[in-house]
Chain A
Amino acid sequence: MIGLREINTHAFPVGRDERFYFEAEGINPAELTPGRFARALYAATGASGDSVSWFAEGQRGLFELVLAGDAARRVITPLTIPMPGIGAQRPAVVTLRRDTDPITLDPSAFELSWTDDGPAPTPGSVAVALHALDKARLFSDDILLAMPAGATLRLTLTAAAIALGARTDLVVAGRPMVLARIPR
């Protein structure tokens, strides 16, 4: 007699595995081990370490990884993940993308860089510096997202910042810095 056997669907991954890639920014690739990445991914998305089924450095500094189906579903891309413990005192980030993500060129994407060893300036101090640059056009609400990445601060500015050139010198909290438009 053949009896019915209950299938525990929770024992199997739900959905299909997905391939992601990211570019390490401001990080020495040697420091970026699968374990460190898995820890950062867990902190960011709650995906367990065993969901990373493939992790390899590909061409042109791109890293490739494959996440198990249930973990992959939790990742909303593009996802910028802070990588604590990497990059000495400066915060390092990686931006996780899918192959299927549209490639967009965001005219509002800027990068603020500095040469000294100091920490990333706060969004407030950047806002003050921008307003000092053009008191008629630039205000605090023109700064949208701000994300420290290595020795740079990636900024998303409003359309008002369109007047800014490709490269602008800024003095932020007494420190000389360069604000540059970046393709994203």
Chain B
Amino acid sequence: MHPLATREALDRFIAALPSGVSRDPTLGATATVRALYAAAVDARGDGGPDATFADHNLAVLLTNAFESSRDLATSAAVGELYFAVRRRLLSALDRDPDDLAPAMALAMGITGTRESPRLRKEDRLADDFAAIAAALSRPHAGPRLAEAALSAVLDVGRERDDALAATTDQAVVPVQQAIERLSESLPDHPDLLIARVRLALLAARSAKDAAAALPSLASARGLLDDFARRYGLAAVQRDLYADLIAERTRLGLGGADLKTEAARVIALDVAEEMQSPNRTRRLLKALRKARLLDAAFARETMALLHLDKLPRDAAEDPWDEVRAILLDALGDEKALLQLAERTLAADAHHAPSAKRLFERWLSNIRKGLSAPFDSTMAERVLRALSAAGVARLSLDDLQGVSEAIVALFGHSRAFSFVADKVLELREQRAREGVWDLALALATEVGDAAAMLHLAGLVRGDKASPAVRLAAARVLVEEGRDAELADELLRSLKNARGSDAREAQALHARLRNDPALREVNHRTLLAFEDKMGIGSGKPLKLRVIYTSPSYALAELRGPTAPDCYDHKHIRTMLRSDDLPEGVLVTDLKKGDGIEAPLRGQDATQKEDKAGLRVYWVSDRSAVSISEAKVSEAKPSENKGREKRADVAPTDDAPAVDPREVEGDFGVGSGEPIELRVSFDGRKSRLRARIHGPDQTSFPANIRVEPESLPEGLEAKRLGRNGKRCLGLVEAVDEGQRRLYRVVGALTVIAGNPRRGAKSDAAPGEEESPDVDVDVDAAADVDADAAPTEEGTP
């Protein structure tokens, strides 16, 4: 870190200090440190004598500032300075390992900024602890540094974070060693005694079980007693006693002596007039957990602390929580309620008091009784109730509460409670009954605003169909948020029953909404842009439906926006859209096609409520690839392999049948070998010509039943067909060229499979004989002209 950056960090620090603080003797050195860095910058040297002294003084400044910052603004400024110069401190330790002031500043910084998420986020804690540990291993490291390091380890170790826990587990070892080493030379040092107590408590916390923790607890107790004998018990040491009692309770090592010790600490607090609500609360909670907080103890403590009477003023009292624990132990329900009412009156957001009062109210509701307080307090309770207070309420309880609220304030307040407080919670939103309750209340309110409010909450949740329909209905009727209404209706309109019919009717009204159409239109245009529709780029399509005159293909890849009627963008393919010589009947479901698409605004007349329709934009850029083998059924795969001959693949561009007619003997006047098969589904004959090198003639040949040899029925040909000899001629019909068998066919004798293996070279006959899935090759209808029967 350059001295210039440090100088600027100090500039920011000086500017951030509250007015008047700059005269503070602790922070007065800031300007001097800044001047040293300024001189280092001026001398353009880093690591020279000026920077060395500047680094040391910066570390001392930070340490003092962390020790003495007494207000939030100063603490925040000191924390910012620490984060800004943290790396500088580390590099200073590297440069002069004997100067341990930067290590002290690092340790103080970790403690001083433990609340800041930046401390964890920057992920440098391990480096900082390693540097501090290295500093602690130096012989002239003192108890102040050891204590600061221990505080840093303990403070970070309290965080419930596994990574942090691992870091502090490693860091605590050198700290412990340093404290033990120093304790040997300074056995009476009070700070080191306290540090050893804290280490013992840490060891007890880390122990596997109570038995393993016993020696550490005994050690902590012994050291604390020793300290008390020598130096008395100051507030810090009484805090440690409270820690010790809490730790014993946590480990289930409670005993009657716990109560005596807690009483001693509280009595000492009172004697020195240093009562601490936090410490007392921790002691009482520990005793309560150990089941040692009885009514007699509670009464004595109340008297000792003068808590038996509530303060006259309504302001929140820091002792209220202690008072509540003691009243609870006394079983004084009335006083507890009074306390909660008083606290809630003083602090309208006091959730614990609201929770206590709400629980009491709920108890009355379950018994069929009225609220134990007036409607003003009931309103305060409802307002201050936290999410946790209603998260676990059962549906019956919720209904009871809503009825009680209706009785006190009417349906409107009950609805707002359910909508704003209960439905805010994920747990409650997941329950259909809660939505139904909200719907019933909104219906009772009879106000469109309530229904609209409910509709606004339904988005993205699993409300019941009735709620979704009601919400959509009010949105459509009020002409509000058509997009949300569309979303709500989407799942409903595909169901059955009267609700579905209403949903469909609402959806029909909605689709004419110009605003919604505009939004959806823009959404589709954006999607087209993203997918490259209209760019001329070939896109991957998959055939999903075939018919004699057209096929439907859908765009592969991301799903279309919700406003599109299908999951994927669809286009209609006609023979005119396919490469020359490939007919739409050659396509089969699952085939892959690459084609550029263009979008076009749908017309109300032809496309009903559609927004956009899609067409192949450039026939010459269309290529037909193999179907994905993995997606086809095993029986179809073989046919797919064959179909590579029929339909050109990406590697083999489309072949114009006219160019290869001669190669296959079409129109030669000589009989050629054909495989004639029967398509049972379409009840018609078809034929294919296979070449010697696993190629096929790139068009289907039409066969009339009259051409079959006498006695051979078309149906007996089957899907694989029979090898026949026949004449094939080409006929031009308009712009199209069709092929058909002329005259009679002659069946070639012998089993084609066996014959192929015996007569031909391996591989040569494999292709025509094995699995000539003519059915898969296409729904052959060479002369079927495509018609525009609809839009994709």
Contact = CB atoms under 8 A, between A and B. Distances in A.
Contact of A140 (B32, B38, B99): B99
B145 A147 contact: no
B104 A147 contact: no
Nearest to A132: B140
Interface stretch (A11-19, A26-34, A116-124): A116-124
Nearest to B17: A76
Given A43-B39, A139-B141, A143-B101, A79 B32 contact: yes
B96 A122 contact: yes
A46 B34 CA distance: 11
A138 B142 CA distance: 8
Interface in A98-136: 119-120, 122-125, 127-128, 130-131, 135-136
Q: Give the secondary structure class of A's interface.
A: mixed
Given A45-B35, A82-B39, A139-B145, A124 B97 contact: yes
B617 interface: no
B53 A76 contact: no
Q: Give the secondary structure class of B's interface.
A: helix
A144 interface: yes
A142 B101 CA distance: 9
Contact of B43 (A45, A84, A131, A146): A84
Contacts of B41: 43
A164 to B, nearest CB: 16
A145 B35 contact: no
Interface residues on A, range: 35 or more
Given A81-B35, A141-B101, A148 B53 contact: yes
B14 A76 contact: yes
B233 interface: no
Contacts of A127: 98-100, 140
A139 B49 contact: no
Contacts of B97: 124
Given A76-B14, A76-B30, A136-B186, A123 B35 contact: no
A139 B50 contact: no
Interface string A4-46: 0000000000000000000000000000000000001001111
Contacts of B38: 43-44, 82
Contact of B50 (A40, A76, A91, A143): A91
Nearest to B97: A124
A80 interface: yes
B497 interface: no
Contacts of B14: 76
Contacts of B145: 139-141
B35 A79 contact: yes
A75 interface: yes
Interface string B45-61: 00001101100110010
B29 interface: yes
A135 B41 CA distance: 37
Contacts of B140: 127-128, 130-131, 138-140
Interface of A: 40, 43-46, 75-82, 84, 91, 119-120, 122-125, 127-128, 130-131, 135-136, 138-148
5 contacts: A76-B23, A119-B49, A122-B96, A124-B100, A140-B98
Given A43-B35, A84-B43, A140-B140, 9 more contacts: A44-B31, A91-B49, A122-B96, A122-B99, A123-B53, A127-B99, A138-B140, A140-B145, A145-B60
